[in-house]
A and B are shown apart, each in its own frame.
Chain A
Amino acid sequence: MKSVLAVLSVVGALVAVWYLAAIPMNIQGALVEAQRAGVAVEPEDAAQRRQMGGLALAVKNPQVIPAVWALKRPRLPAPHQVAVELWKTTVGKKITSKRSLVYHSWVTLSATLLGFAIGTGLGIVLAVGIVHSRVMDMSVMPWAIISQTIPIIALAPMIIVVLYSVGIQGIIPKAVISAYLSFFPVVVGMVKGLRSPQAMQLDLMRTYNAGAAQVFWKLRLPASMPYLFASLKIGIAASLVGAIVGELPTGAVAGLGARLLAGSYYGQTIQIWAALFAAAILAAVLVGLLGLVERVTLKRMGMVR
C-alpha cells in the first residue's frame, strides 16, 4: 500500500514537472499567437523575444501562461493534450481508419509478434544445440555473446532494402529485424538456463539411467524456465523497438514508426507524443502479459519462492 502511494506521488511529480516545463518551452509560440489576437505582450518585437529565455518571457507575460497548454503545434505538448489525442485516435476513430492508432499499433504489433516468435524459436533451438554439443558451444557461444555488445539495429535499413530488392515486402522485413533482435538475448539466457541444474541433480538423473532426451525434458527444460522468461521479456521489448525502427527507412505508410516519422516531418508534435505513448503502452502490455504467464507457469511448476 505504501509503495502504491510512493509510485503515485512520483508519477504525480513527473506530470507536474511536465506541465511546468511546458511554460518556458512553449511561451514563444504562445506569445506569437497572443499578439496576433491583439493581446499586449512584452516585449512587442518578435526578434527581441527570440533573444530572451523562456523563463524571462513567462515572468514578463504571466497572462499568456494558460495559452502554453493549448497550442496547436507546441514544442512540448501538455499531458492532457496528449491524452486527448490518444483518446481521439484510439476510441474516437474507426479501427480501420488510417488515422486510428489502433490500426497503426496493430501493424507494428503483428510484425513484432511474428518476429518475436521466429527469433525465440530459433534462439531456443540454437541454445539446445549449444548445450548438447561441445563444438557448437565453443564455436558459436563467444560470437553470440559478442553480438550483444554491437548495435545490430544498424543493419535494419539494409535488411529492409535488400529484402525489398528481392521482392519481399510488407510484414516480413520488419519481422526479420524483430527476430534477430530478440534472437541473441534468448540464446544467451536459454544456454544459462539449460545449464542451471547442479551437478548433483545431473548425477541423480544418471543414477536413474536417464538418457539425454529424458534429462533434457525432465530436468534441463523445466529448470531453464525462469531464465527463459527473463530473456523473453528483454526479447519482446527489443522486438518492438526493431519493428518500429524497421518502419523508419522505407518511409512506411502504416505503423507506429511511420507515425513518428510523419509527425516529425510535418511538425505534428502532439501526434508524435501520442504515437510514443501508444508504443510505450504496447511495450508495457506485452511485458506485463509475459510477466503474467511467467507467474502462472512458475507457480504451477512450484518454482515461485
Chain B
Amino acid sequence: MGLVIAALAVWALGWWVNLRLAAGPAAHSRVGRLAVAAIFGVTIIAVWELLVRGLEVPMVILPAPSLIAQRFVASTDVLWADFVQTFLKGALGGYVIGCAAAFAVAVLVDRSDFLRRGLLPVGNFMAALPIVGTAPILVMWFGFDWQSKAAVVVVMVFFPMLVNTVAGLNETTQIQRDLMETYAASYWQSFSRLRLPAAMPFIFNGLKISTTLALIGAIVAEFFGSPTLGMGFRISTSVGQLALDMVWAEIVVAALAGTLFYGAVVLIERRVTFWHPSQRE
C-alpha cells in the first residue's frame, strides 16, 4: 500500500515540477522543453515500477521496468543477434532495395505523363492496403531466412516511396522549367540541377514514412516463420513461454532501433534540404 501511495506522490511531484517549468521562463528554451518531456517520461517509468511492486502485479501481466532492464543487460548477446537478423539484414536490406527500386521507377515514370496519370492513383491505392498480408506468400517463396523479410519490406516501402518521389519530381513550376530550357539544359541537366533538388523534401518524406514500415514489415513477417532468431521470432516465442521481461526487452530494442533509424534519416534530410523553409529555424 505504501508503494501505491508513493506512486501517487511521485506522479503529483512530477506533474507539479512540469507545471512550474511550463509556466516559467524555461518553457521557451530548448533545454526547458527537453526537461519537461524527460521528467514526464521518468515519472511514468517510476510510477509503473512502484505500482507493479505495490499492487504485486504478476510478471506474466506486466513486468516492472527494473526487471526489463535486468533482462536487457543479461541477454545483450541474444538481443544483438536478433537485432542483426531483423534490423540490419531484413529491415535495412529491404529498405535500401525497396527505396532504390521505387526511386528508379519514379524517374522512369516521370518521363511519361500518361504513365504518371495511371501509376499515381494505383500507387496511392496500394499504399493504403494492408501489405503486411503478403508476408505468408513471400515467406513461402523466399524461405524462412532474412531474404523473405527483406522482400516483405521491399513491397511495403515501395509504394509510399514511389508516390512521394513522383509527386516531388512534379514539384517544379513551369517558369523554373522554362528557365532551364532557355539555358539549353538537357533533360538530365535540368533533372539533376532543378527537379531532383526540388523533389528532395518529398523524397525524404517517403524515406521517413518507410523507416517505420520497414521495421513493422520485418517483425511481422517473422510471425509467419523464421529461423530461430530475430526480433519477431523472439517476441512470439517469449510470449508463448510467458517470459514477458524478454518481450519487453525486445520491444525496447525495436523502439530504440526505430527512433535512431528515423533520427538518422532526419539528420541526413537536414544536411540535404537545408534550403527548405521547414528546415530553417
Contact = CB atoms under 8 A, between A and B. Distances in A.
A6 interface: yes
B64 to A, nearest CB: 15
B60 interface: yes
Given A7-B118, A245-B223, A154 B254 contact: yes
Contact of A154 (B27, B135, B240, B251): B251
B215 interface: yes
Nearest to A257: B133
B37 A143 contact: yes
Interface string B117-157: 11101100100111011111101110000000000000000
Interface string A28-50: 00000000000000000000000
Chain A interface, >50% SS class:
helix
A135 B19 contact: yes
Interface stretch (A118-126, A157-165, A210-218): A157-165
Interface in A200-259: 233, 237, 240-241, 244-245, 248-249, 256
Contact of B132 (A138, A166, A244): A244
B268 to A, nearest CB: 15
A248 B117 CA distance: 37
B115 to A, nearest CB: 7
Given A6-B118, A143-B40, A155-B251, A135 B128 contact: no
A75 B141 contact: yes
Interface in A50-87: 75
Interface string A97-137: 00000000000000000000000000000000000001101
Nearest to B129: A280
Interface string A265-286: 0010100110110011001100
Contacts of B27: 134, 138
Interface stretch (A88-96, A145-153, A187-195): A145-153
B179 interface: no
A161 B223 contact: no
B139 A135 contact: no
Contact of B219 (A5, A6, A154): A154
Chain A interface size, as a band, is 35 or more
Contacts of A143: 37, 40-41
B250 interface: yes
B36 A135 contact: yes
Which of A155, A158, A233 has the largest count of B CB atoms less than 10 A from its CB?
A158
A2 B259 CA distance: 43
A279 B133 contact: yes
B247 interface: yes
Given A9-B118, A154-B232, A249-B223, A284 B40 contact: no
A240 B36 contact: no
A68 B88 CA distance: 37
B225 interface: yes
B22 to A, nearest CB: 4
A6 B224 CA distance: 36
Interface of B: 15, 18-19, 21-23, 27, 33, 36-37, 39-41, 60-62, 114-115, 117-119, 121-122, 125, 128-130, 132-137, 139-141, 211-212, 215-216, 219-220, 223-225, 231-232, 235-236, 239-240, 242, 244, 247-248, 250-251, 254-255, 258-259, 261-263
6 contacts: A2-B117, A14-B122, A146-B259, A154-B219, A237-B128, A284-B129
Interface of A: 2-3, 5-11, 14, 75, 134-135, 137-140, 142-143, 146, 148-151, 153-155, 157-158, 160-162, 165-166, 233, 237, 240-241, 244-245, 248-249, 256, 260-261, 263-264, 267, 269, 272-273, 275-276, 279-280, 283-284, 287
Given A5-B118, A154-B232, 6 more contacts: A7-B122, A138-B18, A150-B254, A151-B215, A161-B240, A233-B128
